[in-house]
Amino acid sequence: MPEDKKPPGRLLIIGGAEDRCCGAGLLQRFVELCGGEAARIVLITTASDAPDEVLAEYERVFRKLGVDHLSELRLHGRSDADSDDFADLLSTATGVFISGGDQSKLRTLVGSRINDIIADRLSDGLVVAGTSAGATAMGRTMILGGTGPEVAAAAVRTGPGLGFVPETLIDMHFGERGRLPRLLSGVAMAPEHLGIGLDENTGVLVEDGGFEVLGTGVATVVDAEDATVVHPAGEYDPITLFGVRLHLLPHGCRFDFRTRAPAIGPAHDRY
């Protein structure tokens, strides 16, 4: 690669509850991708109900991992997200990390100037990570809520996402909170979307038209592109769903967005 060319931007999408104690794992991988000790990370705490606590926690972890340049981007409304005040901060960042919390609060970012700047900078080598609420916001559509054991329209609520991963629907805390019915419901409502469910302390590194699974859990992929979907009259009635493809991908496995095919990757360290 010529010296004046930066690698394309990469996304690290984490299912929540990532290891923040041992100085290793997914956050260490994020720091390495951002440039190690030269990393300049912007932490977006918009989703959090306790941004001061979130900032202190990630400051502690990132400092431990050798990061000297950590800035917080705290937005109080759409006017902040559309302002020029944070453009300089984002223009010099090598990484952006979107914290967890309430993903409905991230709607203030969707379609904003900050959303556009981050999207533009992805082609300039920026690394963007999101955990929990910050993970589901990465897709063109994000899951806003929904519970229950049934596969039905009422089991999931969605809205526009940040659009960094087109035609995907991402769910988090997946195995721990039994969210397969919710993801199936979301994909049944939009079969062109690929569903990705991420366990805790588990992430996918998105680059080169696909992703690699990292961490200690499993990435569940739901593909209904060729499925038969029959929607009932009522939103609480079960959806008929035939021919759905389901893949369980532990650490090291890969998935190609273009062919919608999983593969077992080469053996290496867990992160």
Q: Which two tokens stand for residue 27?
A: 């956050």
Distance CA 109, CA 96 (A): 14
Active site residue 132: yes
69 is catalytic: no
Annotated catalytic residue within 132, 185, 193, 251: 132
**Active-site residue identified among 99, 112, 193, 200:** 200
Interatomic CA distance for residues 144 and 185, integer angstroms: 13
Distance from the Cα of residue 269 to its chain's centroid = 22
Which entry of 173, 193, 212, 251 is annotated as an active-site residue? 173
How far is the C-alpha of 129 from the C-alpha of 138, rounded, in Å? Answer: 9
Find all residues with CB under 8 Å of 250, minimum gap 6, and list them.
213, 217, 218, 219
Is residue 173 part of the annotated active site? The answer reads: yes
CA-CA distance, 106 to 101, in Å (whole number)?
9
Active site residues: 132, 173, 200
